[in-house]
Amino acid sequence: MFKAWLSLFIFFAVAATVGAAPGAVRCAHLLDVRSGEIRDDQTIVFAADGTITTVGSTQTAVVPAGITPVILTGTCLPGLIDVHTHLTDDPQDSGYQGLAVSVPSEAIKGVKNARRTLNAGFTTVRNVGAGDFTDVALRDAVNDGSVDGPRMLVSGPPLGITGGHCDDNLLPYQYHHVSEGVADGPWAARAKVRENVKYGVDLIKVCASGGVLSKGDQPGTPQYTLEELQAITEEAHKLGRKVAAHAHGTQSIKDGIRAGIDSIEHSSLIDDEGIALAKAHGTYLVFDIYNDDFILQQGAKSGMLPESIEKEKKLGQMQRESFRRAWQAGAKIAFGTDAGVYPHGDNAKQFATMVQWGMPAIDAIRCATLNAADLMGWAGKVGVLEPGAYADIIAVDGKSPLSDVTVLQSVGFVMKGGTVVKSNLPAPH
């Protein structure tokens, strides 16, 4: 049996370099994220295009002739989704150190971090903010097979006001430096949306309030006005793009929801009215509640500004309390971590924080599968192991992720679109 398993591993390792082939995976256990049930001895069959054709009991599954399933000893579940990443950023690029990062360097970092993210079991991401359209280039390289990485939707440069969170306020006046996404006023903001779409973005990222890691502003302060947010959203939706709004502040959150924005990122100071608005409008809330730990423990070593660490000290616990209230009230929540603030590949550490703050493990996993896929507009294609979905399959050894969600921090098997990316699970006996 071990020789058969080893030969299958070699076959799929070769297939990973030449494209997907028809195949099958046999799972000792499989988590059905819709029902929340773990089913034993399940087989997933997929076609040459990397999409699943059947999922069911191994005893009844029909595996096409000539295909020997990959046998996995652990628990299988869909590839995970993170809807708030910055693949072209690293933690050590914070503060003034970021001024030394060139555009080519940013692109190279993206290649490294895309691979790390995929190997961690995150087979799909949204990248919400990157300089000079480096995330567009990274997405295209992943899509054409030049680079190993997750499926990506990308925003390019985020839109923001002069001197706001998405401007660069580190240099003095004589440099006259303005970030490429800065646009003031409704018509200038509309023009910036059009420019980003021209250069290939999948969605629009907008900075509605102040932020933590920026210089000279406060997270709770509104930046874009309701009128500007409405113009951005109308323009983006007209062009077939969703909008993600960075919004810590109470008023900015509500303005973003009223403007029709599709997801509120961070959501730190949301109040009960904001939660009710989100539910009424069907707006997704995204809470990056793990990285507070990293910022407070490692931020100074990473070069984060002292004022940023002080802002996080005031904000982190309130954001976690907001997360708990939003969950208890039944708001729609998608899994997003702000990867790049902390090291890429540690995305799954957030699951434990979500459980600690009141969310059952299955619902935390649903935030990173069903909910995230819905927000991205890819429901039924990612985030599930069902016919018609991509064969994006991960597996963990040991305990069930429902009893110990921390096992998702050690994904042993990763398949994307029917191609094995990583296989470190114990061999079957």
Catalytic residues: 205, 338
Taking each helix axis from N to C end, the angle separating 306-329 and 272-281, rounded to the nearest 10 degrees, works out to 60
Buried b or exposed e, range 193-217, using 16+ CB within 10 angstroms: bebbbeeebbbbbbbbbbbbbbbeb
- In which order are the strands placed within the sheet that holds 284-286? 203-207, 242-247, 263-266, 284-286, 333-334
- In which order are the strands placed within the sheet that holds 70-78? 52-57, 37-46, 23-32, 70-78, 393-396, 413-416, 419-423
